[in-house]
Homo-oligomer: A and B are copies of this chain.
Amino acid sequence: MLKTFSIKEVAKKFDLSISTIRYYDKRGLLPFVAKNAAGYRIFTETDLNLIKTIVCLKNTGMSINNIKTYIELVMAGPSSIDERKKLLLNHRRQVLQEQQVLADNLREVDFKIKKYESPDAESVIKNELEYVAREKKKLNL
C-alpha cells in the first residue's frame, strides 16, 4: 500500500514546525496537498519531493512569493518548463552572488579575528583608541 504522512510527520522529516507548514499552505505553496473528509492534510510520497524542493529554495533564500510562482509553474505542467528553468537560473545567479558576498565579508571577519589573536593585540588597540581620541579632539567633537 502507498504510504501517506500526517502534517506532524512531514514537519519532523523536514525540521519545520507544523504551523510553518500550515502557513506555507495558506501562502499557496502547497496546492498539491490533498485533504481527507475531516479536513486533515494528507501528504503522499511525491508531495514530499515537492516539499523538499520548497525547503531547498527557502534554504537558498528564495522568498515565499517566488517559491509560490515556481510551484504554480510546476502545477501548470510540462508547458512551463522553460519558465521554470529561467526562474531557477535566475535564482542560481542570486545565490552565487550571495555566496560571493558571504565569502568576501567572512575574509574581513577573519582579519579581525587574527588581529585579536595577535600577541600585541592589546597595545595595537590601545594605540588605535588614542588615535581616535586625538582625532576627535582635533575636530572638537
With contacts A105-B60, A109-B56, A112-B88 taken as known, whether A78 is within 8 angstroms of B126 at the C-beta atoms is yes
Q: Could you tell me which residues of chain A, from 92 to 125, have a CB within 8 Å of some CB in chain B?
A: 92, 95-96, 98-99, 101-106, 108-110, 112-113, 116-117, 121-122, 125
Contacts A44-B136, A126-B78, A132-B46 hold; do A95 and B85 have CB atoms under 8 A apart?
no
Point out residues on A near B: beta carbons under 8 Å: 2, 4, 32, 34, 36, 42, 44-46, 52-53, 56-57, 59-61, 77-78, 81-82, 84-85, 88-89, 91-92, 95-96, 98-99, 101-106, 108-110, 112-113, 116-117, 121-122, 125-126, 128-129, 131-132, 135-136, 138-139, 141
